[in-house]
Chain A
């Protein structure tokens, strides 16, 4: 870039962006190649730490807090990495486990790393719902999500 006459060491990629995404509405984010679509999502999701992120991000008027936002958001990257030697079901269980607190009963954990027998599934189910409860107690009380539908 410097040979092409761009003297700066750092370039600003995103600035002054606002948008509204509504629940139950599928929103497309459209732009030309290099417009910063992926960069914007990386920054919003907090998944990437490369580069510099400065300034403020507000969600519904409140400053974005990464620990909170990571709890209520998901990010499907373009080339996600999956473990080749596990099954679809085990992938889901593993993902669920990574999102739970480190202090959860380890005996529970060992039970759940085995194959997908029905008794094991029951344990997995317990673990996942405890995570769902964690969310429902804090954020999802007013949303028409799974838990609300099931109840």
Chain B
């Protein structure tokens, strides 16, 4: 089941713009290794779920996978063959807005080569270029 909020204040949202780079959430904070996004834009709940499945299936319940993003934003669309007007369409899917530098997934409790392969599989499910990063110890 793809991620989506349990409760929302407003059913539909405007598209918005994603400006700048990630100023928070850009460091590995929970696990030992992470996957950092090198693009800015939307990542859908389905893509996040595909990434989670790719990582957990590869790890065989070894290690721990952390998902560092959540699809808070509903995206609406009009049904096919509908005339324009008559108000905004219904929410179709949910997306997470990410900015360049954000850490998307983290893995802890496994060796580096295992984490690297697992995160490479996750990266294939992501719509933007990603890179493997390690946790910084000390300065």
A associates with B: no
B interface residues with partner A (beta carbon < 8 Å):
none
